[in-house]
Amino acid sequence: KINLLIISLSNSSMTIEFFDQYRELIPDFRAFLEALQRPHPSHLRVNTLKISAEALIKRLNRYGFRLEPLPLTDAFSFEGVEKPGATLEYFLGFYHLQGLSSMIPPVVLEPQKGQIILDMCASPGSKTTQIAAMLSNTGTVIANELNRRRLGILKFHLERLGVTNTVVTNYQAQNFPTRDPEGNPLRFDRVLLDAPCTGEGRFRTIMRSDEQEKMREFSTEASQQMSHYQKQMILRGFDLLKEKGLLVYSTCTYSPYENEAVVDYLLSERPDATVEPIRLDGIKTVPGCTGWEELIFHPSLNSAVRIYPHYVDTWGFFIARIRKKPQSNI
């Protein structure tokens, strides 16, 4: 059976209390706290590089999968199986286990066939392989990952899912090269920065043991420290864009220090950066905040979106879509 780790009542209470600082930020706060008491749902993405949704459904029904469509194309929630990563279809790369909110940043990125795309923090590869599928293995995807220990799992998923348009690199995201080996400027049509974060959006009081192992210690200090590195990363990601290029910044945390404050910093440092609205049919989102406690952010941050588990039963997420405006000739 799936091994669930139930956090002790005293520890759970302390952790729940941590979120009280967001009481004025998160609408329907009581419903939010109630949502944290429920275990994570199980979601999967059909790998259209290898199979259609219709064909996969027929195959998975034989194992007892009870599938329900999610409000994204080729995405499903499921119940009825104890080891969804132990089927032949999984190892053949017909589907990938991926939370709904994790599938949204590539959709917001809108990759177009033939484009050159950078995924700055790629491992374990869920979003990288999703982008490759959206491109039908055309163009070029650079999957960058700093942590050498995570490169193996990234390469495993690229191979398992049949991705052939992707090159793996190993740089600090904030130090990713701005020039190619011949010295020419290195620029991308699209950049995805799914930034390392404190991961508050992952928290539930009932979690699988593998999810619990990924959790970081929550604190304001940790969030502020993480924000420092995220600001460096988003500057480099934006500078790597072609003119009119698109950057998507996302995290799985609630802290404005790591979300709106990071994008606001980019807007203050790069006058050619602009935040664009995000439209997601069938997914209830909350606008990004323009102020929190002593912080005041650019008004355009209300075009970013926040995803909360009491509105969409998935991880909490923050997503901003940022365009590089053409340079003025004046």
So which residues are the catalytic ones?
252
SS (H, E, C) 85-145: CCCHHHHCCCEEECCHHHHHHHHHHCCCCCCEEEECCCCCCHHHHHHHHHCCCCCEEEEEC
Please report how the helices 220-239 and 260-269 are oriented relative to each other, as an axis angle in degrees rounded to 10: 40
**Terminal CA-to-CA distance of the chain, rounded, Å?**
66
* Burial 148-171, CB ≥16 within 10 A → b, else e: eebbeebbebbebbbbebbebbee
What is the number of residues in the chain? 330
CB 98 within 8 A of CB 130: yes
Q: What three-state secondary structure class fits 164?
A: coil
Q: Comparing C-alpha atoms, which of 144, 234, 246 is closest to residue 187?
A: 246
Distance from C-alpha of 303 to C-alpha of 27, rounded to nearest angstrom: 17
Q: Which helix (H) or strand (E) is 40 found in, with range?
A: none
Distance from C-alpha of 312 to C-alpha of 22, rounded to nearest angstrom: 18
CB 36 within 8 A of CB 19: yes
List Cα–Cα distances, 315 to 79, 96, 100, 311, in angstroms.
17, 17, 8, 11
Q: What three-state secondary structure class fits 236?
A: helix
Q: Which helix (H) or strand (E) is 35 found in, with range?
A: helix 29-35
Distance from C-alpha of 236 to C-alpha of 249, rounded to nearest angstrom: 12
